[in-house]
Structure 1
Amino acid sequence: MQLKWIEDLLAIEQTRSFSRASELRFVTQSALSRRVKSLEDWVGVELVDRGTYPVELTPAGRRFCEQSKESVGALTELRSELRQEARMPGRSIQITAGHTLSLTFLPKWLKQFHQQTGDFNARVVAANVHDAVVALAEGSCDLMIGYHHPLVPILLDRDKFVSLTLGHEDFIPVSAPDDRGKPLFSLPGSPDAPLPYLAYTATTFMGRVVEMILNSSDTPYHLRSCYETDMAMLLMKMVVERYGIAWLPVSAVSGEIEAGRLVRAGGEEWSVPLEIRSYRAISNTNPTMQDLWASLDTTVSVAFPDDEHDHVSKQGG
């Protein structure tokens, strides 16, 4: 039995919907269903009444959830305490960041704030969106840094978490160039020659952003999915090796574009701007984090006019 199976069932109890629960858990609906079935097999009884709408738990499911909440809460609290004891010494902060941002944005950002707030120790963990959200929600990190788009929101309780916008960058389609420096694969493709498409897995944040771009396109597109991963930097390497087209943050590909190894594979209509956001728990009392957050707030205030600052920098998660 796995703890995440219980958390899946608790999400179903909360939302009364498999589809909504799968969004909260950052997995596909089919994967969530399989995990709940695995939990039912372990318990030995049905926990979800699949014949009702909205979804209802069985009496056994309600009893199991009632008991599980205390157990999961106690284990989570114990884990938080143990991790707190293992924190880095002195002024320190624990950051969970998206894989791409941990390589492109975070090193320069940390250097900037070392200069502004003085020396502090930082432990950085690179993670996907689901694991990063879980780390923040469970108190395993002080800050979570990730991308944001209003149509692909990260679901965090606004009463418990706040966010600051740290910057912006474009999310663009790229291809290796041909001998003339033109894209080897260029959107929108054609029915006779669909473009080889290097995709993110469906449940990743960037995969959902690409889906949003394609679904909102007024131009018919023709793609042939030939590779899938949850790692943007791996997709970038595949594009450089001429395997196909992929969408990537500008920061991940700027060096390759300057070197002529990559080019844009479509016009502005195929790109979207992304925010880079930092999230924290309102209840977090780490003084190093609070000093850093205050410095961040001041920096954002300088970077944006007052009306924009109120809108973008102090939103709940």
Structure 2
Amino acid sequence: MEIRWLEDFITLAKTRHFSRAADTQNVTQPTFSRRIKLLEEAMGTTLINRQTLPLSLTPAGEEFLLLCEQVTDRVRLTRERIHQISEDQARRIVMAAPQSLLSYLLPSWLERHGLQQRVEPYLRATGWLLNDYFQALDRDECDLALCYWPRGRCPLDIDLAGYEYLRVGQEVLVPICAADADGLPRHALPGNRRQPLPYIAYHPRGLLHAVLDAHLAHSAQQAHLITLNENVQTANIKELVIQGYGLGWLPLRAARRALDSGDLVRAGDTRWDVPLELRLYRRRQHRHPGLDELWQQLQET
């Protein structure tokens, strides 16, 4: 039994005439009559009294009409709801961001700009490396990419010709470590050549690793470090540092609460800090219908 058969029956019940009902349903009368006959066969009873003029419904037909109206109305409402869901989903803008920005910046940033209902954080992106974000933009897996970006000299092997960006904030990487019994840093910079400091590092192909390497290479004082672990996510580095395995650099937003509570202390003064920009990237030749409007809104704020 098809939904259109039920719609046919409702139309016939309203018009009380096969030809007019067939015209309303945009089918020939023989086709329409055949559908009604199939419907009666499916229900196992006569639904139309064809001996009256205009025709009438049998008692079974009257009962069946109520069911047809209920079912078709439910289907209509469901179709409308599905269409609305599809439209809402199509309007939502997918933003990829690393775990630390997703946790410590994005919620307040979206709220400040009133974008909670328009922008959807892409949770699969939290462990990506920098190139992954631009590849995802290229294949329309996400619409926006929120990234850390170096403020100093740091060569990056990325062709940015097909993208544009907005500066949406600033951040700073700070060296941190666990405290000793006296509340002093357990692994204080710069260390020395004989006893290099245990270092919990970022992934060697990640942006933050490149930024730190460039900063340390141009630092007036050499840091003596030995890498114990390399990790993509800031949260993992933070946990290893809190447990005392070594020092690491964290975005200040991610470290602030642990620094305030004393779970972490600075491993060096501000000369070891690494300034960063926060950039929001999009592809110039994007396909999202609502992205230009949002981009303009952010440019004006």
TM-score, normalization by structure 1: 0.62
Which residue, out of 226, 229, 239, partners 1:227? 229
State the alpha-carbon separation in 2 of the partners of residues 187 and 174 from structure 1: 10
Question: In the alignment, is the contact (CA less than 8 A) between 1:144 and 1:280 conserved in 2?
Answer: yes
- 1:90 CA displacement: 4.9
Distance, in Å, in 2 between the alignment partners of 1:157 and 1:195 is 36
**Would you say the 8 A contact 1:99–1:128 is kept in 2?**
no
Q: CA deviation at 1:154?
A: 5.3
Q: Percent identity?
A: 31
Partner of 1:25: none
- Residue aligned with 1:287, SS: coil
Letter in 2 for 1:93: I
Residues 189 and 222 in structure 1, CA contact (< 8 A), matched pair in contact too: yes
In structure 2, the partner of 1:33 is: none
Cα separation, 1, equivalents of 2:226 and 2:116 = 50
1:98 matches 2:72: no
Please show how residues 1-317 of structure 1 align to structure 2 within 5 Å. 89-114=89-114, 119-120=117-118, 122-125=120-123, 126=126, 127-150=128-151, 151-152=153-154, 157-299=159-301
Pairwise CA distance, 1:245: 0.4
List runs of 5+ in structure 1 lacking aligned partners: 1-85, 300-317
The runs of 5 or more residues in structure 2 that have no matched partner are: 1-85
Q: Once the 2 structures are TM-superposed, how far is the Cα of residue 159 of structure 1 from its aligned partner?
A: 4.0
* TM-score of the superposed pair, with normalisation by structure 2: 0.65
Is the 1:113–1:292 Cα contact (8 Å) retained in structure 2? no
Cα distance between partner residues in 2 of 1:87 and 1:274: 37
Aligned partners of 2:97 and 2:121 also within 8 Å: no
Contact 2:95 2:119 in 1 (8 A): no
Partner of 1:54: none
Letter in 1 for 2:99: H
Write the distance in 2 (CA, Å) between the matches of 1:118 and 1:256.
Answer: 27
**Alpha-carbon separation, structure 2, partners of 1:227 and 1:106:** 27
Cα root mean square deviation, aligned: 2.1
For the structure 1 residues 266 and 159, does the alpha-carbon distance in structure 2 shift closer, same or farther, using more than 3 Å as the test? Answer: same
Distance 1:283 1:223, change over 3 A: same
CA distance in 2, matches of 1:293, 1:264: 37
Give 1:289 deviation, angstroms.
2.0
2:118 corresponds to which letter in structure 1?
F
Call closer, same or farther: CA 1:220–1:158 in 2, change over 3 Å.
closer
C-alpha displacement of 1:139:
2.1
Of 274-283 and 101-110, deviating more is 101-110
Deviations 1:119-167 (A, max 9, x none): 3252423232121121012222110110011433555545421100000
Aligned residues: 212
